[in-house]
Amino acid sequence: MELDGAVLLLVDYQQAFDGAPWPRRWNDALDDNGLALLAGWRKAGKPIIHVRHDSVEAGSSLGPGAPGNALRPGFAPLKGEQLVSKSVNSAFIGTDLDLRLKRLGAKCVVTAGISTDMCVSTTIRTGANMGWKMMLVADACDCFDLPDGHGGTVAAETVQAVHVATLGFEFCTVTFTQALLASL
């Protein structure tokens, strides 16, 4: 796995996703995998950009100042790490992420976060459409049960599998935490 010029992009590892109004999540290893990825990346001295969703919707648990807006324990940027604030699904839209990546000399954007099917997917799709080589760390992501439009539920595990397959088919390379760490 080629990681020369790779930048780690951690998308929306925020506390709001731990309970209501969000449905059931599937990945109990989300924090362990995300923190292992972050620690490995820091040890390798590679650049890291954190992304935080700052919702503009009134009353949102992701709104600035809301307790849920805070990054999850252990995911706060350290000195030298960058933080991008966004208010839409893609970390590229309405932000200077593209410019930051260019200034870092990025060749590949290694992406993980919450949720696979929403902000992570939209960021990967946008980045790929802009010409960035994108990579998804699938087991350092999470998603939720979703309504199926017919009164039932699509299990989060199914949502995850379909989105990982779709992203990997067209928009990015899919990898997993331990394989990526072994390549650092």
Residues 175-184 have pLDDT tens digits of 999 999 999 9
**Average pLDDT of the chain, as a whole number:** 96
DSSP-assigned letter for residue 89: S
pLDDT for res 144: 94
- pTM of the full predicted structure? 0.96
Domain range enclosing 100: 6-183
pLDDT of residue 24: 85
Q: What whole-number distance in Å separates Cα of residue 113 and Cα of residue 31?
A: 10
What is the tally of structural domains in the chain?
A: 1
159 lies in some domain: yes
CATH of the domain at 147: 3.40.50.850
Residue 64 included in any domain: yes
Sort 53 into a burial class: Cβ within 10 Å, 0-12 / 13-18 / 19+.
Answer: buried
In a domain, 62, yes or no: yes
Residue 150 lies in a domain: yes
**According to the model, what pLDDT value does residue 138 have?**
99
Which pLDDT belongs to residue 21?
A: 79
The mean-pLDDT minimum among 15-24, 48-57, 92-101 falls in 15-24
> Is residue 1 a part of any domain in this protein?
no
